[in-house]
Amino acid sequence: MEDGYKATGVQITLEVMESRFWGIVAQPNDTDCSAVEGVCPLRCDSVDIDCYVIDNNGFVLISKQRNDAGRFFGEIDGSVMTTLIRMGMFKRVSLFDYQAMCKMNSHSVSSARPLLSPFYGLASALKWFLSNFLLFLLEFNICGFWHTEHFADASAHKKKGDILQPCDTEYPSFVYEPSVKETNSIIKCGRCQKMFVVQQIPESNLLMLVIQADCDCSRQYGPITMEPKEVKYIL
C-alpha cells in the first residue's frame, strides 16, 4: 500500500465470539464478595438475570436466546429501552425512505372526485385494464397464449395480492450517546421492580446490558418497534 500504511483484521464466527464472551463475564466461584451487595458471584447463565451485548444502534449481537441475535433490543424489552432513551443514553432519529411502496387505501380517494371531470371514470377503467393486462402478459407465456390449459392454470394459481403504490415512509432509528459510558436504574412495574446495569465495552461500539429477569414489565411498557409509517402530505 502507498505511504507504508497497512491494515490488518480478524474475522471470527458468532459462535466463537459468544463462547469467549460467556467465559469472560462469568465470575469464578472463589470471587471475593465481601464488599459486594447483592448476588455474588454473578454469572450470565443464571436464571435470575439476562445478559445482552448490543451495538450503538440498539441491535442485539449476543443473548442467551439465540434467536434474539439481529433483533432490535426495544422489541425484546421495551421497558429498558424506554428508560435508556429517557436517560439520554440513546436518542431517537427519524429516517426517511423516498422510494418505498405502500398499500393503496381504497378509501383514500374522495367520492366527489369523479364529479370534477367527466372523463375520470373512463380514465380509471382504462388504467385498471392496462395494468391488469400487463400483469397478465408477465404471468403467462405469450407464445403459448392460445392454449386452453393456460387459462385453467391461471384460474387455479392466480393469487390476489395487495395493490402497492409509490410513497414516502418515515421510520425511527436509535443512536448511542458515547458520552454516557455507564448507567443503571430501577424500573417500577406494578408489584415488582426491574433493575438493570449497562456499560460500554472499551474500544468498541458495543454495550453490555445486565437485566433482572424475574420482573415482567410488558404490561406497563410495550415493545419499541422500527415499523415504517407512511408520510402524508397536505397539498
Q: What is the CATH number of the domain that holds 84?
A: 3.30.450
Cα–Cα distance for residue pair 176/112, rounded to 1 Å: 49
Greater confidence (114 vs 10) lies with 10
Query: For position 34, what pLDDT does the model report?
Result: 66
- For the four alpha carbons of 114, 115, 117 and 119, in that order, the dihedral sign comes to positive
The 10s digit of each residue's pLDDT in 175-209 is: 999 999 999 999 999 889 999 999 999 988 999 99
Average pLDDT for the chain: 78
57 within domain boundaries: yes
202 within domain boundaries: yes
Greater confidence (211 vs 22) lies with 211
Confidence label for 140 from pLDDT (cuts 50, 70 and 90)? low
Distances (CA, A) of 163 to 105, 125, 128, 170: 9, 16, 11, 20
From 55-59, 132-136, 210-214, the region with the lowest mean pLDDT: 132-136
1 within domain boundaries: no
Confidence label for 85 from pLDDT (cuts 50, 70 and 90)? very high
- Tell me how many degrees the CA angle 10-16-22 measures, rounded to the nearest 5: 125
Greater confidence (194 vs 158) lies with 194
Flag whether pLDDT at 5 surpasses 90: no
Helix (H) or strand (E) holding 84: helix 78-86
6 within domain boundaries: no
7 within domain boundaries: no
84 within domain boundaries: yes
Flag whether pLDDT at 223 surpasses 80: yes
CB 51 within 8 A of CB 197: no
pTM: 0.67
60 within domain boundaries: yes
Mean pLDDT score, 136-160:
49
Residue ranges making up the domain that contains 210: 38-105+163-235
Place of cell 426495544: 74
Count structural domains, the chain: 1
CA 38 to chain centroid: 34
Cα–Cα distance for residue pair 126/112, rounded to 1 Å: 20
Instruction: Say how many C-beta atoms besides its own lie within 10 A of residue 231's C-beta.
Output: 14
62 within domain boundaries: yes
Flag whether pLDDT at 124 surpasses 90: no
Cα–Cα distance for residue pair 172/66, rounded to 1 Å: 25
Query: At residue 67, what are phi and psi to the nearest 5 degrees?
Result: -75, -5
Cα–Cα distance for residue pair 43/28, rounded to 1 Å: 9
Q: Which residues contact 1 (CB under 8 A, 6 or more apart)?
A: 7
